[in-house]
Amino acid sequence: MKNFAQLIKVLDSSNKTNVKVDALTMYFKNASPEDKVWTIAILSHRRPPRPVNTTLLRNWANELANIPLWLFEESYHIVGDLAETIALIIPTTKEHSDKSLTEYLQEIIALKKKTDPEKKEYLQQNWLALNYYERFVFTKLITGSFRIGVSQKLMTRALSKAEDVDEDALAYKLMGNWDPNTITFQELILDEQNSDYLSKPYPFYLAYPIEGEVENLGNPEDWSIEHKWDGIRSQTIIREGEIYVWSRGEELVTDKYPEFKSFVGIIPDGTVIDAEILAFPEGEIGTFNDLQTRIGRKTISASLLEKVPVILKAYDILEWEGKDIRNLPYAERRLLLEQLYNSIKDKTTSFQLSERVLFHSWEDVTNERMRAREMKSEGLMIKRNDSTYQVGRKKGDWWKWKIEPLVIDAVLTYAMRGHGRRSNLFTDYTFALWQTNDKGEKELVTFAKAYSGLTDAEFRKVDDFIKKNTLERFGPVRSVTPQLVFEIGFEGIALSKRHKSGVATRFPRILRWRHDKKIDEANSIEDLKSMIS
């Protein structure tokens, strides 16, 4: 545990990629095989299920700190991280434990089945037996994922260095369903093929935004164009009569989309499809807002299935007849995909093709991009015809060319402290637009939240304004004097009953601070609604 805590401390305190990779590599070279498996699991968000709910966790920590609960809550709002708060408020000791990371995790797994008094005793004992940083790491293992600026890619790179295994091959090995509690390091990393091959997805190939003018990409004949659909990027695997659907976040979502079960028997075994999951209400592509009614639901009611069905909009084919075909050129893979689509389109309506757009010049492409909103896409994907299907985000062969955001000027009305590196600063904002109420008076109505888009210096200025212009406090939230106007950009817009403004926006973010505008000059809800096509 000591070494793991030390590793986390280094990862958490450096902003330099090489320092992180070096620290991880050193760690992997020295750690036991069991600890290595757990470290990989934790850094790829495969932590054991939470054994204790956070309410109990804070009550028990609070008891040791001997402070009232409200004071704990206030501290938590300011610190911005539950595990960190717990580690900070518990009286510090000089102790440290010699138990390994694996031992701790096994105890944490076993803890889930224990009674509350047993859980309490275990936690309080261990909190007091660890020094500040180990206590933080220990609590983090229980509460949630480590957001310490280590991407899976970075971890994979370090592991590849330490074990001398090819990085792309490793990335593939680490995908999918594996249980750190049962798998050995040998099976996970060193063996040729591991046991859960059946459900295993390929690493996703991701595009960078296009840089500069589209014409600079050269001869249009070398490229293909598709729309960039606004749903959930996914990989659908059909092997040995089973179907597995993975989201880009490496979450197995097969059960959430029962529509796709019917593909078994229609799509031949040994096929893997890269596609977008899209809402398809009333036989048309829906908004992301529609899709949201399906995300996060464990059980899908029959009425919801009927109201908001989903489809797969297929981009690419990665495996065919049981063979990994990622190294075939894109154009060839597309031909296979199109053949597959043509052979099954009469048997299912849930499988659709993301059509390639016909074009002759970059001007045609530019015009097609202007149609994106009408097509309900986010913009275009530009893919080189001879490109292989690569691993992770790579430049050169695939580019995304999104449409310009919609913009509106809105008034800052509420603020909340940020999390992680922004805790202690008010960086999460709520914005409002004008609306005329029944009495004919103009009032500000909340329409969106946003927490990105300003520089650190600007955030500090806004934070200072908020602290000096707080009207009321509601726990972590403060209402502020309406005075600052910001230009808010967003990708899409739809009517919504869940929102007070009657409108839901997609990916709202701050584009700039309009120092030049007074609040009277901000836009209205009517202006916003007029943007709905």
Nearer residue to another protein within complex by CB, 84 or 487: 84
* Chain-centre distance for alpha carbon 146: 14
For another protein, the binding residues (CB under 8 A) are: 12-16, 65, 67-68, 70-72, 74-75, 78-81, 84-85, 88-89, 91-92, 418-425, 456
Q: Minimum CB separation from another protein for residue 294, in Å?
A: 34
Q: Minimum CB separation from another protein for residue 89, in Å?
A: 5
Nearer residue to another protein within complex by CB, 319 or 463: 463
Whole-angstrom CA distances from 222 to 357, 384, 449, 458 are 14, 6, 41, 43
Beta 392-393 vs 205-206: how paired, if at all?
parallel
Nearer residue to another protein within complex by CB, 65 or 264: 65
Q: 269: which 2 tokens? A: 């075994």
Tokens 């002759």, located at residue: 360
Q: Minimum CB separation from another protein for residue 130, in Å?
A: 15
Report the DSSP beta bridge partners of residue 510.
488
Cα–Cα distance for residue pair 151/420, rounded to 1 Å: 16
Cα–Cα distance for residue pair 428/101, rounded to 1 Å: 35
Instruction: Give which of 202, 205, 206, 204 is closest to 175, Cα–Cα.
Output: 202
Nearer residue to another protein within complex by CB, 61 or 448: 61
Instruction: Give which of 46, 115, 58, 113 is closest to 84, Cα–Cα.
Output: 58
Q: Minimum CB separation from another protein for residue 474, in Å?
A: 14
Q: Minimum CB separation from another protein for residue 121, in Å?
A: 23
Q: Minimum CB separation from another protein for residue 464, in Å?
A: 9
Q: Minimum CB separation from another protein for residue 470, in Å?
A: 10
Q: Minimum CB separation from another protein for residue 456, in Å?
A: 7
* Chain-centre distance for alpha carbon 31: 29
Nearer residue to another protein within complex by CB, 381 or 425: 425
Nearer residue to another protein within complex by CB, 148 or 331: 148
Nearer residue to another protein within complex by CB, 148 or 252: 148
Burial of residue 396, with CB atoms counted within 10 A of its CB: 0-12 exposed, 13-18 middle, 19 or more buried: exposed
Give the number of C-alpha atoms closer than 13 A to the C-alpha of residue 207, restricted to the C-beta side: 20
Nearer residue to another protein within complex by CB, 19 or 495: 19
Cα–Cα distance for residue pair 160/166, rounded to 1 Å: 6
Nearer residue to another protein within complex by CB, 68 or 258: 68
Q: For residue 265, is it left (φ>0), alpha (ψ between -120 and 50) or beta?
A: left
Residues belonging to the chain: 533
Q: Which stretches within 235-355 are classed as H helix?
A: 288-292, 302-307, 330-344
Nearer residue to another protein within complex by CB, 3 or 388: 3
Nearer residue to another protein within complex by CB, 17 or 361: 17
Q: Minimum CB separation from another protein for residue 76, in Å?
A: 9
**Residue 116: Cβ within 10 Å count:** 10
Look up residue 513 and give its amino acid: W
Q: Minimum CB separation from another protein for residue 459, in Å?
A: 9
DSSP 376-445: TEEEEEEEETT----SEE-SSSEEEEEPPPEEEEEEEEEEEE--GGGTTSEEEEEEEEEEE-TTS-EEEE
DSSP 488-531: EEESEEEE-SSSTTSEEEES-EEEEE-TT--GGGS-BHHHHHTT
Q: Minimum CB separation from another protein for residue 453, in Å?
A: 16
